[in-house]
């Protein structure tokens, strides 16, 4: 899929395919320092077989009539008859969504299409313009946007994807950002987890790579590692240590430890975006030891508990996580299976996702629930 589209997504189940896509995305992701005072907004007007035509919105290109209406005095065209099919799909996306290009005449990369992911970081750096308004494509938004940008008093750094001819802005930061390279994750997995099974995905919002090891820990869990990074500001770069009950489906793992993929003396990422494998390995060992203590603590709580499975489900707030209908289903299942001891109920909870259908949101909430089970129950 074309990298510059908002809906770009790539998936795979092996390290070689991930590394190939990671190299491609990393090499075509760039940062340009721009001066907000130079901002020009190209507001989409019309299209022909050869050109897309825009109104240029800049304080110097607008005059007002006696009755207060504005008149745009400058127009600009983008040739489209020499674009390939992928690039034309970006033109179509622009016409149906943002209806806008943004331009900085003296920057190294001068003109950008606007990605949906841009609004999150852009709204955080503008005064008086919220994310909801920014997403409302049209001239009113664009007049407010050019004014807000030109009122900025410091340089901005635009992170963008490129195909060598067209560029799309996907995030903006007040200072030059450093982000974890996707290829660095591939290197770490190859050296630290060579026997692991891999699933990966890359979107504009984030890159996720899940690695699961073949050996059991705590007698009943497969341990895994979830790398989650985002260069568009949607998530903090993090490595999660995970566990999955041996009889659960492959994606029914839950997260326990969190290891920030941070920069600096105490971090694990160097200035070049490459992960220090030795430093990361030390953090992993600490996290895994904590995970085993946490599982032991959870099991100990249930061993000492005197509540019935129904009473426990109420105390733990299970309905708010999986829904009333699912809670009813599992309580009937527990009754049919004769599960009455808290320790058996604990084993049931850890294996629960394979027995019911959960939405992606519910599944994530349930992972957090298991992660904090000892705190919730205590």
- Token readout for 278 is 């030795």
Structure tokens at 179: 């982000």
Token pair in block for residue 141: 């938004």
How far apart, in whole angstroms, are the C-alpha atoms of residue 362 and residue 321?
Answer: 6
Map out the domains of the chain as residue ranges. Answer: 28-173, 178-297, 305-378
Place of tokens 């975006």: 273
What's the confidence (pLDDT) of residue 378?
46
Give the separation between CA 250 and CA 197, rounded to whole angstroms: 10
C-alpha dihedral, 195 to 201 to 207 to 211, nearest 10°: -20
Phi, then psi, of 97 in degrees rounded to 5? -125, -85
> What's the rounded Cα separation, in Å, for the pair 209 and 226?
6
**Predicted pLDDT at 67:** 67
* CA 229 – CA 117 distance, rounded (Å): 14
Q: Could you tell me if residue 50 is left (phi over 0), alpha (psi between -120 and 50 degrees) or otherwise beta?
A: alpha
Report DSSP state, residue 263.
B
Tokens 């009755």, residue located: 67
- Rounded Cα distance between 322 and 299, Å, is 21
Ranges of residues in the chain with a pLDDT under 50 are 377-378
Task: Name the pTM for this structure.
Answer: 0.87
- 63 phi, psi to nearest 5 deg: -130, 160
Element (H, E) at 298: helix 277-304
Q: Give the separation between CA 203 and CA 209, rounded to whole angstroms.
A: 12
DSSP-assigned letter for residue 269: B
pLDDT at 266: 66
């Amino acid at each position: 899929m074309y990298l510059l589209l908002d809906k770009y997504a790539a998936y795979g189940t092996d390290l070689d395919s991930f590394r190939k896509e990671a190299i491609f995305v990393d090499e075509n992701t760039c940062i340009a320092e721009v001066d907000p005072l130079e901002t020009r907004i190209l507001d989409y007007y019309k299209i022909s077989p050869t050109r897309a035509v825009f109104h240029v919105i800049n304080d110097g290109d607008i005059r007002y009539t006696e009755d207060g209406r504005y008149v745009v005095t400058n127009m600009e065209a983008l040739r489209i008859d020499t674009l390939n099919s992928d690039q034309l799909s970006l033109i179509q996306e622009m016409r149906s969504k943002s209806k806008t290009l943004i331009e900085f005449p003296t920057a190294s990369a001068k003109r950008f299409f606007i990605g949906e992911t841009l609004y999150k970081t852009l709204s955080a750096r503008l005064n008086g313009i919220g994310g909801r308004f920014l997403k409302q494509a049209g001239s009113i938004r664009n007049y407010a946007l050019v004014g807000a940008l030109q009122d900025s008093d410091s340089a901005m750094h635009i992170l963008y994807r490129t195909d060598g001819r067209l560029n799309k802005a996907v995030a903006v930061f007040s200072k030059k950002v450093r982000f974890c390279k996707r290829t660095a994750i591939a290197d770490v997995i190859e050296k630290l987890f060579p026997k692991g099974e891999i699933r990966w995905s890359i979107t504009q919002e984030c890159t996720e790579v899940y690695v699961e090891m073949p050996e059991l820990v705590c007698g009943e869990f497969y341990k895994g590692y979830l790398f989650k990074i985002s260069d568009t500001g949607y998530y903090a770069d993090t490595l999660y240590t995970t566990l999955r009950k041996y009889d659960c489906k492959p994606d029914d793992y839950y997260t326990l430890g969190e290891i920030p993929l941070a920069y600096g003396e105490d971090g694990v990422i160097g200035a070049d975006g490459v992960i220090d494998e030795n430093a990361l390995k030390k953090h992993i060992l600490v996290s895994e030891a904590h995970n085993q203590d946490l599982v032991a603590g959870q099991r100990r709580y249930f061993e000492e508990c005197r509540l019935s499975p129904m009473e426990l489900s109420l105390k733990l707030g299970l309905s708010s996580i999986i829904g009333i209908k699912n809670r009813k289903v599992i309580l009937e299942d527990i009754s049919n299976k004769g599960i009455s001891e808290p320790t058996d109920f604990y084993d049931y909870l850890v294996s629960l996702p394979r027995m019911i259908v959960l939405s992606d949101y519910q599944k994530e909430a349930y992972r957090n629930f298991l992660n904090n089970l000892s705190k919730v129950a205590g």
